[in-house]
Amino acid sequence: MTPTSRRVLLLGGTGEGRAIASRLAGSAELDVVTSLAGRVRDPRRPEGEVRIGGFGGVEGLSGWLSANGIRAVLDATHPFAARITKNASEACLANSVPYAMYRRPPWREHPGDTWFPVRDLDHAAELVPTVGSRAFLTIGRQGVAAFDRVNNVSFLVRSIDPPSGTLPPHSQLLLARGPFDVEAEVELMRNHGIDVVITKNSGGEQTYAKIAAARQLSIPVIVVGRPPIPAAVEALDTEAAAVNWLTAFGGGSGP
């Protein structure tokens, strides 16, 4: 850290978080620390200083912010990382540290899509037997246990690392890391006889191919909606806006 730099925290773990860290890596004004939750066995590391592991809830994060002289926090975690978002917003409020969220825009339904929006994973588990019998479950490693009581559907479960909970009784596990292309996703769905896809509305390009492949094959998609953004939190939807916000508030020139 240079004598004139300002220390800021970037809550990362996404491709956009890595891009934001890269854009700020040469900044003379900011000293960026990227925090990764450590839930992926071999995470893609961003440029600059990296911290891996949890903080210990609101109290732990609040103490860390104070001890490290953090001037601003930008939350660029996964759109479904509701717990760290809640903890971060509360810790920043307690420490009077500026806080904002970057969230990539969600996917939108297009002509040719057949979407079944659901409120959460339990809702998806209730619905899937009424939609298909061979499900492509692509929601990441967390939350798979919500489907462990679905006995009348066979699942192809894809995640980067093995799921953290129990698998559905009739399931096959596929470990793979994106990005994925449409042609490969079409072939995968055809080879496994998939007739319904289950996904979180994560947004972004890295895993959108499954949506396009389902459209091409006329396969319905059960789409889990995002958790709400905490009240009164500033939300940014472009990397440029996120970089500008962190530069302004981290450098002390924000309103």
Owner of token pair 């854009």: 23
What global pTM score does this model have?
Answer: 0.84
pLDDT at 68: 93
Share of the chain above pLDDT 90, in %: 75
Residues 6-27: tens digit of each pLDDT: 899 999 988 899 999 999 987 8
pLDDT at 4: 45
Residues 209-248: tens digit of each pLDDT: 999 999 999 999 999 999 988 888 899 999 999 999 999 9
Identify each DSSP E strand in the chain by its residue range. Answer: 6-11, 30-36, 49-52, 73-75, 99-102, 115-118, 134-138, 154-159, 171-175, 196-200, 221-224, 234-236
Distance of CA 60 to the CA centre of its chain: 22
- Closest by CA to 146, choosing from 175, 168, 161, is 168
Residues 51-71: tens digit of each pLDDT: 998 899 999 999 999 999 999
User: What does the alpha-carbon distance between residue 241 and residue 222 come to, in Å, rounded to a whole number?
Assistant: 31
Contact assessment for residue 198 and residue 128, using Cβ atoms and an 8 Å cutoff: yes
Contact assessment for residue 52 and residue 43, using Cβ atoms and an 8 Å cutoff: yes
| pLDDT reading at 2 higher than 80 | no
Q: Exposed/middle/buried for 178, CB within 10 Å: 0-12, 13-18, 19+? A: middle
